[in-house]
Chains A and B, each alone.
Chain A
Amino acid sequence: MAASSVIDIKGLSKIYGSGSKATVALDKLTLQVQPGEIFGYLGPNGAGKTTTIRVLLDLIRPSSGSASIFGMDARQQSVEIHQRIGFLPGELSLWQGRSGAQVIHYIASVRGDIKSIVKQAEELAARLKLDISKKVRDLSSGNKRKLGLVIAMMHSPDLLILDEPTNGLDPLVQQTFHELMNEFRDKGKTVFLSSHVLSEVQAICDRVGILRDGDLKAVQSVDALTDVKFRWVHVQFRDGVPAEVAQGLRNLPAVSEFNADGPHARMRLQGDFDPLLRTLGAGYVEQLHVEEPTLEDIFLAYYSGEGAGA
């Protein structure tokens, strides 16, 4: 399994500082990312997502453990690895006084094969509606992000490593980004993206790793992660929530987080609908709406230690 992995991280730890000031950014992280998948790396700020990415790119060195990409050591063979990857940092900084086209040309020249890379960059810029003739300092944060995406993708890498890629992008461009990622995956290439935008991960990722305090809490397919046994149920009664119904719902073992507000009631249902429907029968139900849990709910469940099946 590990031999064919595009990214193979084993027991990776990163500790900043020493003694009483030591901070554990990553704690014995073990993770594999397979070819042709879009892997979402989820976690709040300070969870260790960017630290993981920086180790993979050999920008920082691990305290212990190892990381390899395409079977090559991330540190010893970083130049060979970087030939085959595209990277978008979370906080992209570029040369302010240069135009997008100049930045693209410079980076293309370091990568080699300038003509085809620049051509590809121009096509990507057109798709993202980015004017590359403008100087970097004149670009909005969203357009800088687009330029970063162009730079990361313009040489058709085998692996994309993207740190919070859609930060600052408007919804329309986010849609284009999703299309680009799906096309990229369809070519058999791999994406490793960190995000805290869970709907984005839900929309495009195949698997998700959830990181908290440098510790990988879970790695699951998005489908498995969302295949949880609870739903949110919204009920609207004609004459307010009857007291006996409210009491009955509160007493149901399958119901939790019950809230009543005027004619509206909201609750979390775990398990079958039948006991709920029988209890609701004591009142006059005008509307019933069932909402699948969002990844945010699942995310919170993991963070609270309940796990997805909670």
Chain B
Amino acid sequence: MSGIIIGNTLRTAWKQMLYWGLGLGLLGMYIVFIASNSDIVQGYADLFESLPPALLTAFGASSAEFFRTTEGWVVTILVSELALFLSVYAVLAGLAISANEEQSGILDVVLSLPISRRAFLLEKWLAYALLAFGTVLISALLPTLTAIGLGIDADIGIIFASILAVYPSALIVITVTVLLSTLFRRRIAAIGAVAAFVIGSYMSSIVGSSASGPIADLLETLSYFSHVGGESIVSGEYEPGGTLALLVAAGLGFALSAHLFDRRDIGT
């Protein structure tokens, strides 16, 4: 692994990282700005308290109590939206790893160079893993700095850490996109499959957390949204097991993708 493809990918894709990070960061800033008004926070908390639990989970919280503190309010509102929007970025990043270049024919030129398929895929995956982290970091810094600037009465560290905890979910979506691109070869088929994965995972998270029973538990466990960790960070019950599971799953998913990519024909 020479690192040349990583460097080249970072050079050519850093603007997307910046724009996505700024876009998501502005969303965070907006939510922090609203949270700076304690009357609004309490008003929302009262409203959410009147909602049935199933509807409450759609807002990313298992209890209305989370909306009583400013950091709880910010994290609960922001993290669930961020995880969803970041999934879109992650799908685009995953497609940029191999599917886009395979569809356009550029991969024919690249893979005629002295670089193995596995090394190529690994370098691109690492580059987009870094870019995704950069995106999450920017989207965490903007609301955090805004919260400091506005002097809101909240645990800023919790807000920052909760946003960063979204990162493993982005890595999962990137990896699943690469895996599906490897399996389906046709870009449009891969997009359809990964969209089904993201939406299915989101719905599983909502259904799983709002219902009870073994099937609901299984759905919740299978959804990557359930392992984002924002709520547990706010409640002080965060355990790294979920995050670690996502990172391990991403690593294994990538290894499988690289294996399949190495064995199949290139081109559509």
Contact = CB atoms under 8 A, between A and B. Distances in A.
Q: Is the interface of B mostly helix, strand, loop or mixed?
A: loop
B14 to A, nearest CB: 14
A37 B166 CA distance: 58
B113 A60 contact: no
Interface in B1-20: 2, 4-5, 8, 12
Interface stretch (B100-108, B126-134, B221-229): B100-108
B104 A93 contact: yes
B112 A57 contact: yes
Interface residues of B, number: 22
Contacts of B106: 93-95
A61 B264 CA distance: 7
Nearest to B105: A93
Contacts of B267: 54, 59-60
Nearest to B265: A60
Interface in B96-145: 104-106, 108-116
A59 B109 CA distance: 10
B266 interface: yes
A60 B267 CA distance: 8
B8 A85 contact: no
A127 interface: no
A279 B138 CA distance: 92
B114 A79 contact: yes
Interface string A279-291: 0000000000000
Nearest to A58: B111
Given A83-B114, A109-B4, A110-B114, A60 B266 contact: yes
A91 interface: yes
A80 interface: yes
Interface in A65-102: 78-80, 82-83, 85, 87, 89, 91-95, 98
Interface of B: 2, 4-5, 8, 12, 104-106, 108-116, 263-267
